[in-house]
Structure 1
Amino acid sequence: MTAAPAGVQRLDAAFTAPIRKDGAFPTYLELDGSVELLGTRRAVKVAGTLDGHEFRATLMPSGTGPHWLPLRAALCRAIGKADAGEQVAVRLQQRLS
């Protein structure tokens, strides 16, 4: 097994979450179980896939619950989803620092 590069922690977590359209971000996913997985309620940089498309983003703390993953318009176009309620498959593969 190859070691992760410096500043990278390997993750292997999968979520399915509906697109949401309110709160601090115009379009986002709420990742249940993220606090337990990441061990923090702070912002965390991650890399992985959304519906098979690679992405890098910062998971933002919601304050009282799981992290939010903001969805940029370009990523919504790439996965062909942007409407509230549409389900998105998320795989977190790396925690970046």
Structure 2
Amino acid sequence: MAEPLDATFTAPIRVDGAFPTYIELPGSHDLLGTRKPVKVSGTIDGHAFDATLMPSGQGPHWLPVRAALKKTIGKDAGADVEVRLTARR
């Protein structure tokens, strides 16, 4: 069963990380209570996704953003998106 999680934030889609495009999750260590990978569900600009938040090694976790989701929301690197994390899987 998924653990409850309810966090909403706005952040830009970034490039040049370990993934083609990603979003940094500010305050992720405090929110998640770990610096390890965490599987999550949620929405980006209202569109559902499942992903694994990956520790960046520099502080915040990174949320990889798949090309198909960027196409669906019509946004690319540099654009701000609203992210809502709804569950830990």
TM-score, normalisation: structure 2: 0.96
Find 2:43's aligned residue among 49, 56, 71: 49
Structure 2 residue ranges without an equivalent (≥5):
none
- The amino acid that maps onto 1:95 is R
TM-superposed CA distance for 1:23, in Å, is: 1.5
Q: 2-side partners of 1:56 and 1:89: how far apart?
A: 15
Structure 1 residue ranges without an equivalent (≥5):
1-5
Question: Are 2:50 and 1:92 aligned?
Answer: no
Tell me the equivalent position of 1:3.
Answer: none
Find 1:25's aligned residue among 14, 19, 28: 19
Q: After the TM superposition, which residues 1-97 of structure 1 pair with which residues of structure 2 at under 5 Å, given as runs?
A: 6=1, 8-82=2-76, 84-96=77-89
Q: CA RMSD in A?
A: 0.7
TM-superposed CA distance for 1:39, in Å, is: 0.2
- The amino acid that maps onto 1:93 is T
May I ask how many residue pairs the two structures share in their alignment?
Answer: 89
Higher gyration radius (CA): 1
| Stretches of 4+ aligned residues off by more than 4 angstroms | none
- The amino acid that maps onto 1:53 is H
For 1:54-93, what per-residue CA distance to the aligned partner results, in whole angstroms no more than 9, with x for missing partners?
00000010012100001110010111111x2200100000
